[in-house]
């Protein structure tokens, strides 16, 4: 029975861990884009702002969906 309980706890930890990974990746993307904005020319900034907005939206959207699925599957088991 202790093995089953350990697996159950691992499932809920996995959802939190995946959300943490997504937040770390998102912060890295934001940091990289901010660095490019500070050191780039105006044309590059406009291009990277548009690209960055799409990337950030995709990262956060995927992260929220994956985190929610992992969290819900961990809670229902």
Structure tokens at 59: 């990262």
Query: What is the pTM (predicted TM-score) of this model?
Result: 0.37
Rg (alpha carbons) of the chain, rounded to whole number = 18
Looking at the chain, the whole-number percentage of residues with pLDDT higher than 90 is 0
Residue 3 predicted with pLDDT over 50: no
* pLDDT, tens only, 21-57: 877 777 777 777 776 666 665 555 566 677 777 777 8
pLDDT(67) > 60: yes
Nearest CA to 73 out of 24, 16, 3 is that of: 16
Task: Report the Cα 2 to chain-centroid distance in Å.
Answer: 32
Query: What's the whole-number mean pLDDT along residues 6-19?
Result: 64
Angle at 63 between CA 35 and CA 26, to 5 degrees: 10
- Kindly indicate the confidence band of residue 11, based on its pLDDT and cuts at 50, 70 and 90: low
């Amino acid at each position: 029975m202790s093995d089953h309980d350990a697996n159950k706890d691992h499932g809920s930890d996995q959802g939190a861990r995946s959300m943490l990974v997504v937040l770390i990746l998102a912060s890295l993307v934001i940091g990289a884009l901010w660095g490019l904005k500070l050191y780039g020319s105006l044309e590059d900034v406009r291009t990277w702002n548009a690209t960055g907005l799409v990337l950030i939206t995709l990262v956060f959207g995927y992260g929220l969906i994956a985190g929610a699925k992992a969290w819900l599957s961990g809670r229902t088991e």
